[in-house]
Chain A
Amino acid sequence: MSTLVLRGRKVVGGCVEGEALVTRDRISGWGGIDPRTGTVIETRHELKGVSFAGKVLVFPGAKGSSGWSSQFHIARLAGKAPLAMLFNEMTTKIALGAVVTHAPSITDFDRDPLQLIESGDWVKVDADNGIVEVTKKS
């Protein structure tokens, strides 16, 4: 099993580990997810029908409605939030969304997490120190 380490900037602190869910599509909050199940619902999204609940969500960033934060906020209260969030593009939607989701989150990576992490990999997120350790599934 190979492992690799990425370094980035803390957005929300905390340490967790879990399975990665990776998408190259940006995620829409309001109208893009069902926060009561943690499922992506956007019509032409590659994760349509897939739940991010309890996963280390790896994605480019946020798009769409300014209801982004409140939908992920509701997902947290419903127990369906991502375990952690790793993303590339900083926007107000995702910054506020990550903060109110209380999920350890990192951005500004030294290497592109979308290139290096695949769905199913095991990921340790130490957001306090901005360190991500990836164990490849194969």
Chain B
Amino acid sequence: MKLTADEQAMLDGSRGKARQKAMDLLLRYGEALGAERFVDTSNVCGTVGASTPFLRDYGRSHGGMDAVFSEFNLDSAEVVEIPQVAVRSAHLQQGIDPEHASRQGIPAEVVTLHRNGEAYTAGLGVQMLNTCAPYTVGNVPAKGEHCAWMESSAVIYINSVLGARTNAEGRESAGCAMLTGKIPYWGYHLEENRLGTHHVLLDIDVESTADWGLLGYYIGEVVQDRIPVVSGVRRAPDLGRLKHFGAAAASSGGVEMYHLEGITPEAPTLAAAFGGNRPLATIRYGQAERRLAYERANVTAKSRDVDFVMLGCPHYTLEQIAELCGLLQGKRIHANAELWIFTPRQTRALADQKGYSAIIEKAGAHLMSDTCSALGRVIPKGTRVAAVDSAKQSHYLPAIMGIECWFGTTAECVEAAVTGRWNGSLA
């Protein structure tokens, strides 16, 4: 790779040991990709915390947070002192919600460890957004902005909906970008790699949030890591729908960019979305495909006795919380079930202010932040059967926790939480 003078200086160690390690890893990574150079970035979203079980233990036995950062962000077994981040950096979701630790089965000692880790990370200058959806709480990249973000559901959102430019970075590359402001100039940073490759024609209307999730789940499996262009969307989807759509497509496949003809910023027309590309395939999406996606999202579910309902994957917006409160008003969660809703802590503060949190608590449900069931492995003790309104969560949660999981609409999930029974079906 061709290095600039400041990149070479960091690699030579003149900006300290940690930045040297960071540049060394970025160079190994860039060469693995086949990149020719780096691009400057001043917007990094990544993970530094050590609140998931393996990292908690690693931090405890290897001397704390500098050791965790050295190994898991810089790929360095040697522990180096970590300096302040060089560019704007935000933290993604963590392993626990310290405000609901006992309900999540987290011992007090781990909460202390988490709080210390959070203080350490904030001390490096990292904004503790603690969410998978930073674009809902103030980090909204501009069109064309070169970013270094982790979190597949956020990556696909900012590339596709906002027109920002990022690859799906990992924990290590995002950590290195925080310290250096550099990331390989490869993939979605380049104009020509952002053009559509597959054409998706909708034969049915896609309206509800659940339906957008199913569409994403279907498309992801078909196009894998390529770039679908969807035609035939009759009503422009809102943020919540786009969030679910992208998260699902990034889970069943590896989609990091899509276009909605006439809607998303790099697809004012079909011709603009494809540029000079000829579509590799045309994919039709009708009732049969919708049903297939629904069956795949429900593949682990057998028992209709539901003991856990999880909402907020990706983290709920305030509008989704408002919709939930409309469904919950005047109802009680069943004695044999629990309902947990996950949202960014900033959105939780707004929900407190609006009275939504009180409605949720009054119903016997719990509004949580900072983590999610799949990431933190936090579910009520004894859960055997869960229900979710996210195709992404239904993809991951059963695999990670070894439980059954239903996928359906938010209303079906609320009904399951209230009755303890799954009565959902594909309308």
Chain A residues positioned under 8 Å from B155 (CB to CB): 66
**Given A31-B400, A64-B152, A64-B254: A70 and B32 within 8 A (CB)?**
no
Asked whether, in the complex, the Cβ of A90 is within 8 Å of the Cβ of B169, the reply is: no
B224 on interface, CB distance cutoff 8 Å: yes
The number of A-B residue pairs with CB atoms under 8 Å apart is: 110
**Given A44-B299, A91-B168, A100-B172: A12 and B399 within 8 A (CB)?**
no
Asked whether, in the complex, the Cβ of B72 is within 8 Å of the Cβ of A73, the reply is: yes
Which positions 360-393 of chain B face chain A at CB distance < 8 Å? Answer: 374
Task: Give Cα distance in the complex from A91 to B169, angstroms.
Answer: 10
Task: Give Cα distance in the complex from A11 to B28, angstroms.
Answer: 9
Asked whether, in the complex, the Cβ of A91 is within 8 Å of the Cβ of B374, the reply is: no
Task: Give Cα distance in the complex from A41 to B399, angstroms.
Answer: 6
B123 on interface, CB distance cutoff 8 Å: no
Which of A11, A31, A61 lies in contact with B399, CB distance below 8 A? A31
A3 on interface, CB distance cutoff 8 Å: no
Chain B residues positioned under 8 Å from A129 (CB to CB): none
Asked whether, in the complex, the Cβ of A44 is within 8 Å of the Cβ of B172, the reply is: no
Q: How far is the CB of B157 from chain A (nearest CB, A)?
A: 13
Chain B, interface residues (CB within 8 Å), range:
35 or more
Q: A58-101: contact bitstring with B at CB < 8 Å (1 yes, 0 no)? A: 00011111111110011001100000000001111101111110
Q: B287-320: contact bitstring with A at CB < 8 Å (1 yes, 0 no)? A: 0000000001001100000000000000000000
Asked whether, in the complex, the Cβ of A92 is within 8 Å of the Cβ of B34, the reply is: no
Chain A residues positioned under 8 Å from B171 (CB to CB): 67, 69-70, 73
Q: How far is the CB of A12 from chain B (nearest CB, A)?
A: 6
Asked whether, in the complex, the Cβ of A36 is within 8 Å of the Cβ of B32, the reply is: no
Which positions 1-50 of chain A face chain B at CB distance < 8 Å? Answer: 9, 11-12, 26, 31-32, 35-36, 41-44
Asked whether, in the complex, the Cβ of A63 is within 8 Å of the Cβ of B253, the reply is: yes
Chain A, interface residues (CB within 8 Å), range:
35 or more
Asked whether, in the complex, the Cβ of B396 is within 8 Å of the Cβ of A93, the reply is: no
**Given A64-B251, A89-B225: A31 and B29 within 8 A (CB)?**
no
Which positions 211-226 of chain B face chain A at CB distance < 8 Å? Answer: 224-225
B75 on interface, CB distance cutoff 8 Å: yes
Asked whether, in the complex, the Cβ of A91 is within 8 Å of the Cβ of B399, the reply is: no
Chain B residues positioned under 8 Å from A98 (CB to CB): 32
B200 on interface, CB distance cutoff 8 Å: no
Asked whether, in the complex, the Cβ of A41 is within 8 Å of the Cβ of B54, the reply is: no
Asked whether, in the complex, the Cβ of A66 is within 8 Å of the Cβ of B152, the reply is: yes
**Given A43-B300, A91-B254, A92-B167: A66 and B172 within 8 A (CB)?**
no
**Given A26-B224, A65-B152, A100-B75: A95 and B58 within 8 A (CB)?**
no
Which of B28, B72, B224, B225 lies in contact with A70, CB distance below 8 A? B72
B230 on interface, CB distance cutoff 8 Å: no
Chain B residues positioned under 8 Å from A77 (CB to CB): 58, 71
Task: Give Cα distance in the complex from A64 to B251, angstroms.
Answer: 5
Q: B128-149: contact bitstring with A at CB < 8 Å (1 yes, 0 no)? A: 0000000000000000000000
B173 on interface, CB distance cutoff 8 Å: yes
Residue of A nearest to B167 (CB): A92
Which of B54, B186, B187, B399 lies in contact with A36, CB distance below 8 A? B54
**Given A64-B250, A66-B170, A96-B173: A43 and B399 within 8 A (CB)?**
yes
Would you mind naming 6 contact pairs between A and B with Cβ atoms under 8 Å apart? Answer: A26-B224, A31-B399, A43-B299, A73-B75, A93-B170, A98-B32
